[in-house]
Amino acid sequence: MHFVCVGTPQLTGSHRADLSWVERAFAELAPYLRAPSLVVGKSTVPVGTARRMAQIVRGHAKGGVRLEVAWNPEFLREGRALEDMLRPDRLVFGVASPWAEHRLRHVSLTVAVAVREEGADVVVHDNVAEGKARRAHPELEYADTLLAAARDADLLMLLTDWTEFRDMDPHVLTQSVRQRNVVDARHALAPDLWRSAGWSYRT
């Protein structure tokens, strides 16, 4: 994932934004992208800019690499930035859901395979994308439920932040695991809650 954070000053004698720095940043970044990537714009820009930047970045990329463009601007008023950041009057969320799911699954399974290759017994549970995961990596062991995956485990690794995993109850899981160790790679859990339940919590 790459972030483009450049200025968009007002054009002299106009109310329009100068997008030349944004366009140049996207165009110059594109040739260096060698793997599927998400490029996120942070600048405050007019509607339709993301579509234009997607065309620019794909036009300058090499080798047909898959690229996606998203926009996540920060609307902070001059002189009120701290207040706006801590007490925003609105929050807008979005993701390019199928692509994001694919990337999360790919990263998570890469970790699972690597841990297994180091000699660990790995059991995977993913209530959202398990069917695709099984087809991609049939060599891994899969569990139909979270509790089944945790049974007699020495370590839990949270690699995707689906709701089921964010809402895990450490007290319930204590009854299934052999040792209370959790690695929260998604920063999705409440550390104090897990530690108060006797778990070793790491990120």
pLDDT given at position 97: 73
pLDDT given at position 127: 77
Please tell me the CATH code under which domain 2-94 is placed: 3.40.50.720
pLDDT given at position 71: 87
pLDDT by residue for the chain (203 residues), tens only, comes to: 898 988 888 888 887 889 999 999 999 999 998 888 899 898 888 888 888 999 999 899 887 788 889 888 766 666 776 676 667 666 665 566 755 556 666 678 888 988 998 899 999 998 777 777 888 889 999 999 999 999 999 999 998 877 888 889 999 999 999 999 999 988 889 999 999 999 999 98
Domain spans of the chain, in order of start: 2-94, 98-202
Burial of 181 from C-beta contacts in 10 A (0-12 / 13-18 / 19+): middle
User: pTM score, two decimals?
Assistant: 0.54
The architecture (CATH level 2) of 98-202 comes to: 3-Layer(aba) Sandwich (3.40)
